[in-house]
């Protein structure tokens, strides 16, 4: 279920609690061109979230994106393509399981290429074991990086 929390001018601040994310299909009925902030929290541990290329296509005015508790295995290269104005990205608890035997979350070395305007990036509790070479290179405007 998603609800608009605030209307800031003509821009929406939307918070969602969903069972899981299924690529771009998760946003078919969203007001993409009028959303400033999008917070996504998954509720189900039984379903794997599918992060896909162009998942956030059409969210041209999105500045803040928060994704938490959405368990998947991979963040493909073009997951964030089209988010030209994205300034803040918060990713938390994206792995399937936090145990020592967890399959690591695989992230593409090209993941941040589409979001060059990013200023703050937070990655927490997501079983990322390897950061690919060059992952952060496109983030020339980055002012804050938090990961643990």
In the chain the domains, ranked by start, together with CATH numbers, are: 2-147 (3.80.10.10)
Indicate if the pLDDT at residue 83 is higher than 90: yes
Average pLDDT over residues 109-136: 88
Q: What is the mean pLDDT of residues 1-16?
A: 77
Of the chain, the percentage scoring pLDDT greater than 90 comes to 39
CA distances from 10 to 6, 15, 27, 120, 123 (A): 10, 17, 19, 24, 29
**What confidence score (pLDDT) does residue 90 get?**
96
Q: What is the pLDDT of residue 97?
A: 59
Closest listed residue to residue 21, CA positions, set 46, 45, 51? 51
Is the pLDDT at 48 greater than 70? The verdict is yes
Mean pLDDT, range 17-36, rounded to an integer: 84
Which residues does 92 contact at the CB level (< 8 Å), separation at least 6?
A: 66, 67, 68, 69, 122, 123, 124, 125, 126
Q: Which of 74, 92, 66, 68 is nearest to 23 (CA)?
A: 74
Quickly state the pLDDT bin for 100 (edges 50, 70, 90).
very low
With beta carbons less than 8 A apart as the criterion, state whether 58 and 82 touch.
Answer: yes
Asked whether the predicted pLDDT for residue 86 surpasses 90, the reply is yes
- At 8, the pLDDT band (50, 70, 90 cuts) reads low
Q: What is the DSSP letter of 69?
A: S
What is the mean pLDDT of the segment spanning 75-82?
A: 92
Question: What pLDDT, on a 0 to 100 scale, did the predictor assign at position 99?
Answer: 52
The mean pLDDT of 88-99, rounded to a whole number, is 78
């Amino acid at each position: 279920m998603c609800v608009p929390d605030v209307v800031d001018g003509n821009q929406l601040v939307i918070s969602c609690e969903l069972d899981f994310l299924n690529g771009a299909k998760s946003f078919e009925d969203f007001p993409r061109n009028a959303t400033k902030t999008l917070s996504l929290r998954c509720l189900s541990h039984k379903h794997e979230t599918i992060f896909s290329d162009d998942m956030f296509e059409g969210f041209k005015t999105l500045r803040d994106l928060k994704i938490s508790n959405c368990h998947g295995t991979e963040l493909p290269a073009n997951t964030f393509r089209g988010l030209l104005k994205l300034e803040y990205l918060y990713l938390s608890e994206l792995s399937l399981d936090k145990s020592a035997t967890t399959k690591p979350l695989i992230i593409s070395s090209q993941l941040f290429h589409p979001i060059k305007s990013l200023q703050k990036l937070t990655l927490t509790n997501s079983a990322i074991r390897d950061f690919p070479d060059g992952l952060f290179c496109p983030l020339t405007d980055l002012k804050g990086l938090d990961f643990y």
